[in-house]
Amino acid sequence: MNATIATATEIQKMDPVFGQISFDDHEQIVFCNDKDTGLKAIIGIHNSVMGPALGGTRMFNYSNEWEALNDVLRLSRGMTFKSAITGLNIGGGKAVIIGDAKTQKTPELMRKFGEFVHSLSGRYITAEDVGMETADMDIVRDVTPYVTGISEERGGAGNPSPVTAFGVYMGMKAAAKQQFGSDVLTGKKVLVQGIGHVGAYLVDHLVAEGALVTITDINETALQNLSAKHGVAVVAPDKIYDVDMDIYAPCALGATVNDDTLSRLNCSVIAGAANNQLKDESTHGQILMQKGIIYAPDFALNAGGVINCFSEVEGLSLEWAKQKAEEIYTTIDRILLRSQQEGIPSYQVANQMAEERIQTKGSLNI
């Protein structure tokens, strides 16, 4: 090994927090520990220039603390960019709880977590993410007002998925316009990968417009139900590369656009709800552009979820949230136009646009 060049792992050991790649000037990182309930959580506040940091809590059985720390930093930074590009006056943050949500989540643990959130006096507002349910947010609400995604009975905005799906649909239309010269999806072949909370609502919109939809999922019952409802085609998860499609809508997992899939996917537009679709942003973003595939950056496209949470924080109506999600069309349109004019990948343009908004707001100091 070269004695003068430290590896990423060695740098992490020397500077385990500030030296993390995703640290990216985080404002505050809070480590929460409670012996009695077994709570071990990390709250990341990335940037509060646009407002208090808003972002969900993920409970996951991380294999080690580095993984948990890296995840919270990466996700919290992502929230700053998502809210900024969407034009929301709210900052970016996220929390992770280390543990198995199925076996280790207790009301006491959630209440203690809520107390830690409350101790930040509103600098961080939490919400649901992987491993969390509305009922958990209701428990957090018992000890702090700094939480969204609570049940409608308790004044919350309810399930964000319909708003997310509507935003994805609108953004997909803008991407189609860029690639095909028209935003009409009638007759367009769309493959929806993952028909969970968001994917199923997205299929509703697509079918209503007359798109030729194919669905795939690992959940066979869900596939049968949705296929029976809409008469859409079904394909096995590993057979999607044989499907001739105009639009690929990843709505299940991240990193599905990678070295392996890029040469096999038969599509000219990628627009879906999943987070972190590009396995390696810079490499795969560049390849997509070279191949002439239009990519609608995921964090701009799936912002309906954060729009829904923001509406709850601000006491705005569902109508407002839907209208804001409709604006995702314009956001994607602007990103793709600038990408084409400047010859740089769309994900990079989206990052730049988000940074520009934060800088403008920061320099105005309002």
Catalytic positions are 94
Residue 331 touches ligand NAD, criterion: CB under 6 A:
no
When binding is defined by CB under 6 A, the residue of 42, 50, 73, 274 that contacts ligand NAD is 274
Task: Please choose, out of 55-63, 83-91, 192-200, 352-360, the segment that lies near ligand NAD by the rule CB under 6 A.
Answer: 192-200
Q: Which DSSP string corresponds to 165-213?
A: HHHHHHHHHHHHHHHHS----TT-EEEEE--SHHHHHHHHHHHHHT-EE
Residue 160 touches ligand NAD, criterion: CB under 6 A:
yes
Task: Please choose, out of 37-45, 108-116, 271-279, 280-288, the segment that lies near ligand NAD by the rule CB under 6 A.
Answer: 271-279
CB of 222 to ligand NAD, least distance (A): 6
Our CB check for ligand NAD shows the closer of 44 and 199 to be 199
Residues in 49-68 that interact with ligand NAD by CB under 6 A: none
When binding is defined by CB under 6 A, the residue of 8, 14, 253, 318 that contacts ligand NAD is 253
When binding is defined by CB under 6 A, the residue of 172, 273, 300, 313 that contacts ligand NAD is 273
Residue with tokens 């997310």: 164
Label residues 293-330 b or e (16+ Cβ within 10 Å = b). Answer: bbbbbbbbbbbbbbbbbbbbbeebeeeebbebbebbbe
When binding is defined by CB under 6 A, the residue of 197, 334, 338, 361 that contacts ligand NAD is 197
Cα–Cα distances in angstroms (integers) from residue 238 to residues 261, 264, 362, in the given order: 11, 11, 47
How far apart CA 240 and CA 187 sit, in angstroms, is: 19
When binding is defined by CB under 6 A, the residue of 71, 136, 217, 246 that contacts ligand NAD is 217
> How much of the chain is helix, strand and coil, in % rounded to 5?
50, 15, 35
When binding is defined by CB under 6 A, the residue of 11, 208, 218, 236 that contacts ligand NAD is 218
Residue 224 touches ligand NAD, criterion: CB under 6 A:
no
How far apart CA 150 and CA 143 sit, in angstroms, is: 13
Our CB check for ligand NAD shows the closer of 195 and 353 to be 195
Our CB check for ligand NAD shows the closer of 158 and 196 to be 196
Residue 76 touches ligand NAD, criterion: CB under 6 A:
no
* 58, 136 Cβ separation under 8 angstroms: no
CB of 347 to ligand NAD, least distance (A): 16
Size of the site for ligand NAD (CB under 6 A): 24
Q: What is the DSSP letter of 291?
A: H
How far apart CA 188 and CA 248 sit, in angstroms, is: 11
How far apart CA 198 and CA 302 sit, in angstroms, is: 10
Residues in 111-150 that interact with ligand NAD by CB under 6 A: none
CB of 150 to ligand NAD, least distance (A): 15
At 331 the three-state DSSP class reads helix
Task: Please choose, out of 94-102, 115-123, 272-280, 336-344, the segment that lies near ligand NAD by the rule CB under 6 A.
Answer: 272-280
At 20 the three-state DSSP class reads coil
Residue 210 touches ligand NAD, criterion: CB under 6 A:
no
Residue 60 region by backbone torsions, left for phi larger than 0, else alpha for psi between -120 and 50, else beta: beta
What the block records as the tokens of 255 is 């990193």
Residues that bind ligand NAD (CB under 6 A): 160-161, 164, 193-199, 216-219, 222, 237, 251-253, 273-275, 302, 305
